[in-house]
Structure 1
Amino acid sequence: MSDAMLGKALLIRAVECDQSGRILEAQTLYQDGIAQLMSFVHSEPDEVKKKGFLTRIKEYIDRADAIKARVNGKMMLGEVVTHLSIEENDTGNDYDQIFGQYMTDKTIEIMLEEPYLTQNYQFQNLIRFLELAVTNCKHLKYIRLITKKDTNNLDQQKTNLGQIKADLERRQIAFYIKYEDTLHDRKIFLSNGYIIKIGRGLHFYKASNPMYSIGLTNYKYRKCLQTDVDIWRTTK
């Protein structure tokens, strides 16, 4: 498929997602579609045609910018509805117990900002979170993960995330991975209007000790590191 045809297909899907309220996925599709069309336009020798393409591309850029402003606005505005302080060595704090009630069948998109995904236990925490999302969010269609690159073993990180992406897509859930090396924030944005902010992100559990003991797979029995959790409800 040519750059122009691929770009057009991506932008058609972007508009469909935009109109159906799937703004996170629409944002990604707009960006990818615009990039494909720009690649095509640069090689277009006809200046009149090129000008027409650029005018059309500008319209899609404006749509993408409008979505970005909406997402950023939701991130900045809202009110805290729940605050939880988890103390050192506390138990009874599985993801489901902390914020499962906010992950509902009205959640069709999730954005997860988790800087650190390099160690096996961190990928296990990610899977545990995604299992909760798939279980609670019956109509989930799109997940965007923002993380840092593993500078020591990038190939393994990409392999692990590739396996997760393939598995989610078999379940008809699109999984988009974005690397931001300056990322520090840790939060979970749910399209039903809630934002979950955890001081340590997903990684506030201590290792089960000994390994083969209660808590290995059921996190409510795991001892925790000290952290704070704030649940925000965003404005519409």
Structure 2
Amino acid sequence: MTTALKAKELLIRAVECDQNGRILEAQTLYQDGIADLMSFVSTEPDDQRRKGFLTRINEYINRADAIKSRINGKLMLGKVIAHLSINENDTGHDYDQIFGEYMTKKTIEILIEEPYLTQNYQYQNLIRFLELAVTNCSQLKYIRLITKQDATNVDQQRTNLGQIKADLERRNVAFHIKYEDSLHDRRIYLSNGYIIKIGRGLHFYKASNPMYSIGLTNYKYRKCLQTDVDIWTNSNSTD
């Protein structure tokens, strides 16, 4: 497939996602399509055709910027509807028990901002969350993960996340990974209007001790680290 055809395909899909309310996926597709179209235009010898392409590119950039503003607005605005304080060594706080009720069939997209994904237990926590997502969110189509790059073992991190991506895509869920080394926020945005903010992100469980004991796979039996959980909703939330 030529660069121009690839760009066209990406941008058509971006418009479709935009129209269907899948704004996270639309934003990614717009960005990728614009990049490919810019690459094609840079080699276009005809001035008139190049100007035409640049006009279209600006239109797509404006659409992508509008989506970015919508996403930022959803993340920044809203009100707290539930608060939970988890004390040191508490048990009974599996992800499903804390926020599973907000992850519904109307959740078609999820944004996960989790800075730290470098250790085995951190990948296990992510998988546990994703298992809950594919179980509760039957119409889930797209997940975007934003995390920091593992400075000590970037290849292993990419391999691990690549395996997760491949598995989700076999389940017809697109998985986009973005690395931001300045990331500090820990929050999860659900496209049905709920935002989950956890002080420690996904990683508030203590190690199973001894390893082969109750709580190894069922997190409601795991002891926790102290943290706070807030559930936010914006005006567009739907149950």
TM range (shorter): over 0.9
Runs (4+) off by over 4 Å:
none
SS in 1 for 2:57: helix
Paired residue type of 1:91: T
Structure 2 equivalent of residue 216 of structure 1: 216
Structure 2 equivalent of residue 33 of structure 1: 33
CA RMSD of aligned residues (A): 0.5
Structure 2 equivalent of residue 146 of structure 1: 146
SS in 1 for 2:93: coil
SS in 2 for 1:203: coil
SS in 1 for 2:139: coil
Structure 1 equivalent of residue 12 of structure 2: 12
Structure 1 equivalent of residue 106 of structure 2: 106
Paired residue type of 1:30: Y
Identity %: 81
Structure 2 equivalent of residue 202 of structure 1: 202
Paired residue type of 2:218: N
TM-fit CA distance, 1:18: 0.5
Structure 2 equivalent of residue 186 of structure 1: 186
1:65-104 → structure 2 map (5 Å cutoff): 65-104=65-104
C-alpha distance in structure 2 between counterparts of 1:133 and 1:215, whole Å: 20
C-alpha distance in structure 1 between counterparts of 2:216 and 2:90, whole Å: 16
Paired residue type of 2:222: R
TM-fit CA distance, 1:2: 1.2
Unaligned runs of 5+ in 1: none
Unaligned runs of 5+ in 2: none
C-alpha distance in structure 1 between counterparts of 2:76 and 2:132, whole Å: 26
TM-fit CA distance, 1:12: 0.2
The TM-score normalised by the length of structure 2 is 0.98
C-alpha distance in structure 2 between counterparts of 1:76 and 1:131, whole Å: 27
Structure 1 equivalent of residue 136 of structure 2: 136
C-alpha distance in structure 1 between counterparts of 2:8 and 2:158, whole Å: 28
C-alpha distance in structure 2 between counterparts of 1:122 and 1:207, whole Å: 11
The TM-score normalised by the length of structure 1 is 0.99
Structure 1 equivalent of residue 226 of structure 2: 226
SS in 1 for 2:104: coil
C-alpha distance in structure 2 between counterparts of 1:165 and 1:75, whole Å: 24
SS in 2 for 1:139: coil
1:55-66 → structure 2 map (5 Å cutoff): 55-66=55-66
C-alpha distance in structure 2 between counterparts of 1:75 and 1:173, whole Å: 22
C-alpha distance in structure 1 between counterparts of 2:81 and 2:220, whole Å: 22
Paired residue type of 1:35: A
